[in-house]
Each structure stands twice: as structure tokens, then as C-alpha cells.
Amino acid sequence: MKKMVLMLIATQVNPKDVSDLRKLFQTMDTDDNGSLTLQELRGGLQDLDGGPDLIKQVMKADLDNSGEISYTEFLAATLSEEIYMREDYFDAAFKMLDKDNSGKIDFNEILSIIGSGTAKNERVVAQAIREIDENGDGEISYQEFMLMMARGTDVEQRLLKAI
């Protein structure tokens, strides 16, 4: 769920807010095709402090299972909490998911973003809601959404410290 939200935010983020990440991506994209292979990631990150862990974290962002990391996937994997928790980006992501403007995100709203064609997607969404839904009402409130987004590591800061 968090990866999906980070992808939504990555498509909306102001280029000024991610200029260092853009430069890093462009440096690693040696064939200049707009995506990073595992080999390009290794070439760019292997020698950095914590490089192997960073490579694994970034490769987890391959949401379309193409074997390569697009610029948007790279941003989603490396955005700092300082950026994605900024009120304007955070609110925009919540509103993109809360299609009926109820102030809560439900099962069908999430499925409409990721695609409802498979039983696997439905199981994944149901599990995500169970994990995020603190009050057990079957929906994700703004507060629950905020708590979910606040969990996790800050890969961008580790990348920028390492380079």
C-alpha cells in the first residue's frame, strides 16, 4: 500500500524537491534509456556505504516487475519522509485515493487504482486494509493513512549521505 502511495506522490512531486535524486538517477542511467537495470544500480551504488542494502531497497520498487527501475519507481523508493509527508503531497495522495470524498479510503477505491481484475489484488488490498485500519471499521481514515506513511525507512537520506 505504501509503495502505491509513494508512486502516486512520485508522479506529483515538484522537480525542485528531488533535484539531487534526479541527478543521481541520471548518473546511474548509463545507457540513457530512462530506467535502471540491476547492473546500473550496482555500478552506481555498490561502493557506497550500505550499497548492497540500498540496491535491494530500490529494486523492491520494481512494481511492474520489468526487471528495471523507472525514474518514477526510483523516486518512489527513495523519496524522503520530509518530502512525502509534506502536507501538499500527502493530502493530494489521500485525495487521489479517496475518490468519493468521504474522508476515508475503502476497499473499492484502492482496487480502482491497482486494478480489480484478480483475486490476488483483492487479497492484497484486504490484507493492507486490515493492517492499516486501526479502529476496525474496514476503511482507512486520514489519521490511519498518516500512520501508515510515517512507518518505514528513509532511503533518500541514506543515499544522499552515502554520495
pLDDT by residue for the chain (163 residues), tens only, comes to: 888 888 899 999 999 999 999 999 999 999 999 999 999 988 888 777 777 788 888 888 887 788 899 999 999 888 888 888 888 998 999 999 999 999 999 999 988 887 766 777 788 888 889 989 999 999 999 999 998 888 754 444 444 444 3
Taking the C-alpha atoms of residue 27 and residue 163, their distance in angstroms, rounded to an integer, is: 12
β-strand pairing of 140-141 with 35-36: unpaired
- Containing 6, the helix (H) or strand (E) segment is helix 2-12
Domains, the chain: 2-80+153-162 (1.10.238.10), 84-150 (1.10.238.10)
> What does pTM read for this prediction?
0.78
